[in-house]
Amino acid sequence: MSSINFVFTLRNLAAAAPGGRPYRAFSCSFQAVLCAVLILSCAARAGARPLQVLAFGDSLTAGYGLAAQDAFPAQLERRLRADGFDASVTNAGVSGETSADGLARLDFSLQPGTDLVILELGANDMLRGLPPKAARENLEKMVDAIRARGAQVLLAGMKAEANFGPDYKAQFDAIFPELAKERSLRLYPFFLEGVAGDQALVQSDGLHPNPKGVARVVAGIAPLVEECLRRGGGKPTSDLRR
């Protein structure tokens, strides 16, 4: 029962109460309960806040070559709000960053009250041919640090190009599914799923998504993001009104 319906129910009961002292006593009780309901209702509204999502990554998160409103965090926020989630997505992407760079700035970027971190790093480690073992260790440390701060982690996977050879590719590609399994993480296996290699969805460099490509990424990952938010207690406003 909503606070408004509860108030009207009490008011109707008060109107039906017999006259005299019993009525006055009931009226006083009604006024006290009414005040308590209003106070609790105001407190609940004051305590409400948007769900905080941190998109933490490299140029794929930052929106390299795109207007701010076309970048991944902005498009994801619009999708979440369209699906009824009162959520804010912060763009914490820095172009060119490796997993080591991300680890170095994580504490600064991870603000109190963050509910979910989408961890999207590793592509630049791969493009520079850095050791997969080091990338994995950096990602592990970030996952542990994020969880220690009370936030969930959604791991966004990446796949290696073939130019460093099959052994490197096998080691790099295994980082994300193995880490997700060991740390019981939700995993989006390949951040650029459905985008990589499609010239209609990437910019002229052939690597970074254009606005349509970002929309494809959002369409793929949004259900997992929403699942994580529900697991953390977040609900669409349509669910809250039921």
**Which pair of tokens denotes residue 186?**
């939700």
Global model pTM greater than 0.85 = no
CA 201 to chain centroid: 24
d(CA 239, CA 6): 20
What band does 236 get if pLDDT is binned at 50, 70 and 90? confident
The set of catalytic residues is 59, 205, 208
What band does 232 get if pLDDT is binned at 50, 70 and 90? confident
226's CB contacts (< 8 A; 6+ apart) are 80, 83, 85
The string of DSSP codes covering 147-169 is HHTT-EEEEE-----GGG-HHHH
C-alpha distances (whole Å) from 83 to each of 54, 79, 156, 175, 198 are: 18, 6, 21, 32, 27
Report the DSSP beta bridge partners of residue 188: 156
Task: Check if CATH label 3.40.50.1110 holds for domain 51-231.
Answer: yes
Start-to-end CA distance of the chain, whole Å, equals: 10
- Evaluate whether 161 touches 126 at the Cβ level (below 8 Å): yes
Q: What is the pLDDT of residues 93-152, one digit of tens each?
A: 999 999 999 999 999 999 999 999 999 999 999 999 999 999 999 999 999 999 999 999
**Domain boundaries, given as residue ranges, for the chain:** 3-47, 51-231
Q: How do strand 87-93 and strand 116-120 relate by DSSP bridges?
A: unpaired
